[in-house]
Structure 1
Amino acid sequence: MIVQTEIESILGEQFQPAHLQVENESHMHSVPPNSETHFKVVIVTDAFEGKRKVARHQQVYGALAAQLEGPVHALALHTYTAAEWAEREGAPASPDCLGGSKAEAQ
């Protein structure tokens, strides 16, 4: 869980979130066992006040640029302000993987 821990540390430091949830969803995809390539991030922070979803995602992508250039293949982002989070009952579930394995292409 090295990559997951890095993501949690970076986002925690940069955004001081009221809520941060980082889930390794690699097991749901066509990757080797124990991979850290696909993540779901739920982050609630005042840093997103007044910003549209695209700007919020850009902030997170910027913070995680090194991970996105290396081990992280996919990042599902759910970005909220405290008020938006209070109106929700959690983040949406991730969809099932539709394949895409290189082995399937042969």
Structure 2
Amino acid sequence: MDNVVRLKSWYGKYLMATNEQFLLGVTGLKVVQNLPMKLDSSIEWEPIKVSSLVKFKTSYGKYLRANGGLPPFRNSVTHDVPFRHQDWILWEVDIIELLHQPE
């Protein structure tokens, strides 16, 4: 992936895609905030523009997904291949800091 972003929190942790199951018997893998030892593909997300929204693809071919519904799903984030809920992988992005690389 050439066009990737790293999603970093105010606390210095990155949004990281894991290979751990979110819940037993449920699709979707965990997404955690982490301070990795090295900056690798687990914290890289490929932004894909869809109209005025964006979906974020992992190097594993899965998409960042906001889960809804009752606990334990409510307010959780996973990465998965969407089958039924295509809109759960669409995000509105607010750019608050843009870093320019010297030419």
TM-score when scaled to structure 1?
Answer: 0.25
> Which has the larger share of strand?
2
Give the helix-richer structure, 1 or 2.
Answer: 1
Greater relative contact order (Cα 8 A, min sep 6): structure 1 or 2? 1
**Structure 2 length as normaliser, TM-score?**
0.26
